[in-house]
A and B are shown apart, each in its own frame.
Chain A
Amino acid sequence: KNEVEQSPQNLTAQEGEFITINCSYSVGISALHWLQQHPGGGIVSLFMLSSGKKKHGRLIATINIQEKHSSLHITASHPRDSAVYTCAVDYGGSQGNLIFGKGTKLSVKP
């Protein structure tokens, strides 16, 4: 049973569109991570958050602790944003290992 659910699994968008990827989890967490992986590339950490909202360039991550839900938004999407986006949660154990969602494959067409 996967305790972290992402939607959608696949997403195709036109360049310039606003994109939202959703992540929900089952129990209380200490922190939630959003990660990016380009085709053939390694995993890169985009955000780590435990409350509120963070912004970096065209990327925005929000988290609602009460609803156990997080969203990753991409404004003015670009073909270079095409990648797999994964959320991962830290349930607060002493070791800090992450539980990952299955990822959302984003393709942005020019």
Chain B
Amino acid sequence: DTGVSQDPRHKITKRGQNVTFRCDPISEHNRLYWYRQTLGQGPEFLTYFQNEAQLEKSRLLSDRFSAERPKGSFSTLEIQRTEQGDSAMYLCASSPGTAGTRPHYEQYFGPGTRLTVT
């Protein structure tokens, strides 16, 4: 399967614990996005990588959240000191496209990681 993969698919954690999610994009895709989706809402943008550079962060991404994409391949999203309000589906998407280019590309989504904070 050469699609976007995410791990784990489900995570249950106690409030105050740290969690880390991983996303493996389609291998030739330069762009990687993290979104968060809560029940009954559409996904909301969290952050964007162009290769290994994190170029954009939403105001939704508080200082408890950090994301990395070392070597421009897989990405990790870490949430420190989780709160119940962090419970959501965390989606990763990738697309082709280099910095500064504006042809429009489809985004390919992973299956998501569902986080439940108890």
Interface, chain A (partner B; CB < 8 A): 2, 4, 30-31, 33, 35, 41-45, 48, 50, 86, 88, 90, 92-103
Interchain residue pairs with CB less than 8 A apart (18): A30-B104, A41-B111, A42-B110, A43-B91, A45-B107, A48-B105, A48-B106, A86-B42, A86-B43, A94-B102, A95-B50, A95-B55, A96-B31, A96-B48, A96-B95, A99-B45, A100-B44, A101-B42
Q: Are A97 and B56 in contact (CB under 8 A)?
A: yes
Q: A86-B42, A97-B45 are in contact. Are A31 and B107 (CB under 8 A)?
A: no
Bound Cα distance from A90 to B104, whole angstroms: 9
Give every chain B residue within 8 A of A96 (Cβ-Cβ).
31, 48, 95, 97, 104-105, 107
Q: How large, as a class, is the contact surface on chain B?
A: 20 to 34
Give every chain A residue within 8 A of B97 (Cβ-Cβ).
96
Bound Cα distance from A88 to B35, whole angstroms: 12
Q: Are A50 and B104 in contact (CB under 8 A)?
A: yes
Interface, chain B (partner A; CB < 8 A): 31, 33, 35, 40-45, 48, 50, 55-56, 91, 93, 95, 97, 99-100, 102, 104-112
Bound Cα distance from A99 to B99, whole angstroms: 20
Nearest B residue to A84, CB-CB: B42
Q: A33-B106, A42-B109, A45-B106 are in contact. Are A94 and B33 (CB under 8 A)?
A: no
